[in-house]
Structure 1
Amino acid sequence: MADMHETIRNIGIVPVIKIDSPEQALPLGKALLAGGLPVAEITFRTAAGEEGIRILSSQLPQLLVGAGTITSVEAARRAIDAGAKFIVSPGYSDDVVEYCIQRNVTIYPGVNNPSEIQSAMRRGLSVLKFFPAEASGGVDMLDALSGPFPTLRFMPTGGIGMHNLASYIRKPYIVACGGSWMVKSDLINEGRWDEITRLSREAVAAVHGFSFAHIGINPSDTEEASNITMALGVFLQPVTEGTTSFFASESIEIMKQPFLGTHGHIGIRTWDIERALEYLRTFGVEADEATGRRDAKGRLTVIYLKDEVGGFALHLLRAK
């Protein structure tokens, strides 16, 4: 189960899908993969869900397929037999949880209060669906729950979209967010697969929250670095000094000694460096592990990538 949690965490979004016809499953799965989302939660809200899971599991092995809206042991059995690799339920059902544990299939039962959380913890579950997320208090409620339950992590679903995704995904207790905004029923029924791919790409980008942090300059020595800083300080404030560099505002870093990058470096912020690195590996981009720095919780706060771009080294910064 831990491997499943990590796989889903590295993706960051779980599309929650309702299909009306099994024939929609394959082109939908291909559209998600093209958009960088290798996961699909096919709900049992329609009769087509079970067969859709079977089709996707057999024909798109690179797609992680789960079943959603599972409310009974019988539904869980059918979903797992069809090929579902994980189960999601809207509420907590001890029978369904027990059955999935017996079948060695990861389950994410829905909870939204301490009593349900404690029931899940008694079964040894450590990652839970928070549903309906927005109607149950959203991020504020999750912040409150993370106090008495610091070891738990959540997959919030319900009312999440591009407008509020960042407020959830940046939280350390969030494994991933579930949502349907990139797989709306009208898009599926109209066969608008290119639009689903576009929205999926947009969602993936939002999960990582990539943004420009600063550009770094490599002077020849500390004296030159100081001179550059004073010159830039005429335009850019505040000027600050650290152990290894100066900053002119937050946008330009002047290294005291030559550092990585032929011309310098570019810093890029992201919500979660570990998740971002998994994403970048799909493009063949690798990190220089020797440059990584971690906080007290063991999370990467800074790391450089191996290859330069235009003579600049690139490094990721954990956004605050």
Structure 2
Amino acid sequence: MFEKEYDLLHKTGIVPVVALDSPDDAVPLATALLKGGITSMEITFRNPSDYEGTARAIRDVHEKVSAMTVGAGTVTSVELAKAAIDSGAAFIVSPGFKEDVVDYSIAHGVVTYPGVSTASEITAAAAKGLSVLKFFPAEISGGCAALKAFAGPFPRIKFLPSGGLNLDNMGNYFALSNVAAVSGSWMVKGSLIKAKQWDEITRLSKEAVEASLGFGFAHVGINFHGDGECAEGVKEFEAFGFKGVEGKSSWFCGTEFELMKNGVKGKNGHIGILTYNIERALAYLADRGFKPVADSAQWTGDAEKSPLKFIYLDKEINGFAVHLKKR
């Protein structure tokens, strides 16, 4: 159930939690987020005196910004769930597990992310057939340590942590295998929206997207022609203290240098790039001219059914092929 929606959330990575004083700000805000690479947003029912305004904001984004997946947050009653769904909300988020809201959303074919922080709540949500849940409030409910503990008894459940996340700590969550995406408000602060600082929101969004990918250096591979030439290269690297360890097709000198006995990828070699999530990285890189080399894919489990752990890209950089490697 909701596999398509879960896959979209996984590729989205970041869901900003938005509180609006005026529904007129919804469309320019959604546009600013899109410019920053964020394709999903949660507009919350946090203003009890203007629930209709929140519903209008959701409707405006749904109708006028088609590239943005907009959902409703702080949905605490069936009445609000109905208003959100009638306005075009693609998903429903609640601060806690409320059975009638969950049942209503499922009955209307809309994915819902109820808030959970205990094993009992997770069990209740899983019994409804849900497999991605909001972990809230994340930081004060144990943060990453709690999610690691939940991974054992709930291997099929993934989480959308929210509450206390920011640019500095979200990488810790993305490193966990049971985190589908993260949620936060640091890039959509009320003061920025009130001042209509759309360019700053775009900048913060770009910063958040880049941080969510966790790109980093893995190693550089250098092509040699045969075992003998490669062995000589190993000796030269060992002069700098990079101890060589031989494998079937290459030597690793330290973790930084891979010496290929008979290099076939790249004119000169290859560069390994780390990332938290290869699927999300591929979606990001597609807009920047890179495509995956399908026959190079390696998986963490069953092919096509588990996350990627390794794949080459189709473009070389100055004679070096590039591959992604899951952190």
Output the TM-score relative to the length of structure 2: 0.95
In structure 2, the residue matched to 1:74 is 79
Correspondence for 1:114 among 112, 119, 122: 119
Please give the per-residue CA displacement for 1:56-113, whole angstroms capped at 9, x wherever unaligned.
Answer: 1001111000000000001011111111000000011111011101110000000111
RMSD of the TM alignment (CA)? Answer: 1.2
Please give the per-residue CA displacement for 1:215-245, whole angstroms capped at 9, x wherever unaligned.
Answer: 1111122211111111121114222111111
2:314 counterpart of 1:300: no
Instruction: Tell me the matched-pair count.
Output: 319
CA distance in 1, matches of 2:301, 2:72: 37
Please give the per-residue CA displacement for 1:242-270, whole angstroms capped at 9, x wherever unaligned.
Answer: 11111222111110002211121111011
In structure 1, the residue matched to 2:18 is 17
CA distance in 2, matches of 1:145, 1:111: 11
2:195 counterpart of 1:190: yes
CA distance in 1, matches of 2:218, 2:264: 18
The answer (yes or no) to whether the contact 1:11–1:279 under 8 Å persists in 2 is no
In structure 2, the residue matched to 1:179 is 184
The answer (yes or no) to whether the contact 1:129–1:157 under 8 Å persists in 2 is yes
Amino acid at match of 2:173: Y
The answer (yes or no) to whether the contact 1:218–1:258 under 8 Å persists in 2 is yes
SS at structure 1 position matched to 2:272: strand
Instruction: Mark the runs of 5 or more structure 1 residues left unpaired by the alignment.
Output: none
In structure 2, the residue matched to 1:39 is 40
Correspondence for 2:130 among 125, 128, 138: 125
In structure 2, the residue matched to 1:311 is 319
Amino acid at match of 2:217: F
The answer (yes or no) to whether the contact 2:96–2:116 under 8 Å persists in 1 is yes
Please give the per-residue CA displacement for 1:122-161, whole angstroms capped at 9, x wherever unaligned.
Answer: 2111111010001111111111122211111111100011
Amino acid at match of 2:272: G
In structure 2, the residue matched to 1:5 is 6
User: After alignment, is 78-87 or 142-151 more displaced?
Assistant: 142-151
Correspondence for 1:87 among 67, 92, 95: 92
In structure 1, the residue matched to 2:228 is 223
CA distance in 2, matches of 1:159, 1:190: 23
CA distance in 2, matches of 1:299, 1:4: 16
CA distance in 2, matches of 1:163, 1:238: 34
Correspondence for 1:140 among 121, 125, 145: 145
In structure 2, the residue matched to 1:285 is 290
CA distance in 1, matches of 2:190, 2:112: 25
**Identity among equivalent pairs (%):** 46
CA distance in 2, matches of 1:218, 1:123: 53
SS at structure 2 position matched to 1:240: strand
CA distance in 1, matches of 2:299, 2:209: 24
User: Where do residues 155-174 of structure 1 align in structure 2 (5 Å cutoff)?
Assistant: 155-174=160-179
Give how far 1:213 is off. Answer: 1.2
2:244 counterpart of 1:239: yes
Amino acid at match of 1:263: N
The answer (yes or no) to whether the contact 2:237–2:243 under 8 Å persists in 1 is no
Amino acid at match of 2:86: D
Please give the per-residue CA displacement for 1:32-76, whole angstroms capped at 9, x wherever unaligned.
Answer: 000000111011112232111111100111100000000000101
Output the TM-score relative to the length of structure 1: 0.97
Instruction: Mark the runs of 5 or more structure 2 residues left unpaired by the alignment.
Output: none
CA distance in 1, matches of 2:127, 2:13: 26
SS at structure 1 position matched to 2:296: strand
CA distance in 1, matches of 2:266, 2:8: 32
Amino acid at match of 2:326: R
SS at structure 1 position matched to 2:217: strand
